[in-house]
Amino acid sequence: MKRLCATAVVAALVLATAGTADAHTGTTTLQRHADALPAQGAPGVLVEVDTPRGDVRVRSGHGDVDRRTPVPWQAKFRIGSFTKTFVAATVLHLVGEGRMSLDDTVERWLPGVVAGHGNDGAKITVRHLLQHTSGLVDYVGEMPELFLEEGFANARFRTYRPEQLVALAVRRQPDFQPGERWKYSNTGYVLAGMIIQRVTGNTWQHEVRTRVVEPLSLRDTHLPGTSPFLPRPHATAYERFPEKGLEADPEDPRYGRAVDVTYYNPSWGGAAGDMISTTEDGNEFLKALIGGKVLRPAQLAEMTRTVPAPELDEAWAGAAYGLGLMRIPSSCGGYWSHGGDIPGFKTRNGVTPDGGRSVMVSINTDSMVAEPGAPELDQEVTKDLVDHALCGPK
């Protein structure tokens, strides 16, 4: 969706026996990876690895920089675009019931909503929406209030309706014709949420809750809607806003001071990114999803059928995209993932193809600016940590 100077707090909580954890999860190496993140601009970090031999958690830095306290072990956090995986799974659930098809057009379910300026909902399918191949402009880029400190302060408790967000996107010419190529667009998932409501008569939040969250007993996963509050315990969420807004030069971003953005109305994220969860619940969901406990085999196969996503190469070389899931190469073959960035939080994760091992990473900012002298990275900041968690000692 940037740099806080925080001294790493070396702490680890091992939920298996100490000997088993060290032998089978490489806790020391995991801690070392976590301890490297504050220098890259993370105020604090919480990591949980779920393995067949037990769970391991490590943390580093500060959940509250002023108080110099660590991220709570049971911290709730905004998961941003990891929400998309829940939404895609819910759509596929409906597909498995025969209530809709991935080949249905947007126009069928939302007549007249995607029209004008070269946008045509009759040419865009549900698959295009979930796969980021619709060509629709990302509405987030049309919201400058999200990228400037004063603008965010003025809009942080504002409610946005899904129709408003889609309207921001379709006032622009599409980036390309549906299916021509891949480009990440939050607009597709806002539309997917609207389609869920049209198909079922219930909000997308209700359907995600009753079809995914409750059956998996994800008790600490929340769908806040317009509520600005973050359930306790939680870290303080920090954001540095580029002083030049969207025009900031990546080589000289000139980010301002760190601002507390813990509380705000997340309705502008909607079905593209407004959910709240924990490392434990995130791991449980990923393992259940890839393990076949959420979707029927045919729908899981659709979800994991990928297309090239070259825009992801800078962070994850060779990554491909399915329906609400990324396939990322690793030192042990590859894993499934979907991270999320939203003001105040960065979520990263991964699960092995057999669903047997997963990892969740929460950082309490999405605007990381490395400290002077920190190692320069040519990949996503948590990539080595996630790779070790999934490919380390078995």
Structure-model confidence comparison of residues 165 and 23, the more confident one:
165
For residue 162, what pLDDT is reported? Answer: 98
d(CA 76, CA 94): 29
d(CA 326, CA 336): 6
pLDDT band for position 167 (cuts 50, 70, 90):
very high
Catalytic residue among 60, 81, 330, 367: 81
For residue 251, what pLDDT is reported? Answer: 62
Q: Phi/psi zone of residue 80: left (φ > 0), alpha (ψ -120 to 50 degrees), beta?
A: left
178, pLDDT greater than 80: yes
18, pLDDT greater than 70: no
pLDDT band for position 8 (cuts 50, 70, 90):
very low
188, pLDDT greater than 90: yes
15, pLDDT greater than 90: no
Please write the tens of the pLDDT for every residue from 234-291: 999 999 998 765 565 656 666 778 999 999 999 999 999 999 999 999 999 999 999 9
In this structure, are strands 320-321 and 326-328 parallel, antiparallel, or unpaired?
A: antiparallel
∠ CA 265-231-266 to the nearest 5 degrees? 15
For residue 362, what pLDDT is reported? Answer: 98
Please write the tens of the pLDDT for every residue from 335-361: 999 999 999 999 999 999 999 999 999
Please write the tens of the pLDDT for every residue from 111-146: 999 999 999 999 999 999 999 999 999 999 999 999
Active site (annotated) includes residue 277:
no
User: What's the rounded mean pLDDT across residues 67-79?
Assistant: 98
The H or E element that residue 308 is part of is strand 307-308
Outline where DSSP puts E strands in 189-303. Answer: 238-242, 255-260, 276-277
Please write the tens of the pLDDT for every residue from 199-246: 999 999 999 999 999 999 999 999 999 999 999 999 999 999 987 655
pLDDT band for position 6 (cuts 50, 70, 90):
very low
Task: Identify the CA nearest to 348 among candidates 13, 45, 29.
Answer: 45
**Contact 4/325 with Cβ under 8 angstroms?**
no
d(CA 135, CA 394): 42
Q: How does the average pLDDT of the chain come out, rounded?
A: 91
